[in-house]
Amino acid sequence: MTQTGVLRLAVVLAGLMGAAGVVLAAASAHQADASRLASASSMLLFHASAVIGAALLTGHGIARRGLGLTATFGFIVGSALFAGDLTMRQYAGHGLFTMAAPTGGTLL
């Protein structure tokens, strides 16, 4: 896959992160004791824009390719782990795996 294709994939994933963040924000507003969902929503929404920014910097050659792609996909994976773990804890009563949220937070 070319660099352009990889960056397009990152932008699509950022869009999905933003959409999931909006859904989680709505769920947290309408459920009792849903502070985990609010935190997950914030992480997804804030880092979706960071993914787009990192992808733009990489695509325009401002950030070096390796560093830019690492940052871009680090934001995606870190946000997914953090938000996924909090969402699982809210709805299923257990996390994705041991230390998933701290691992995601460390990646961010």
Q: Which residues are CB-contacts of 61 (< 8 A; sequence separation ≥ 6)?
A: none
- Please give the model's pTM, rounded to 2 decimal places: 0.91
pLDDT digits (tens, 9 = 90+) for 3-24: 789 999 999 999 999 999 999 9
Instruction: Give residue for tokens 């950030």.
Output: 63
Residue 1 is predicted with a pLDDT of: 74
d(CA 95, CA 92): 8
Domain ranges of the chain: 3-107
pLDDT digits (tens, 9 = 90+) for 56-108: 999 999 999 999 999 999 999 999 999 999 999 999 999 999 999 999 999 98
Evaluate whether 48 touches 18 at the Cβ level (below 8 Å).
yes
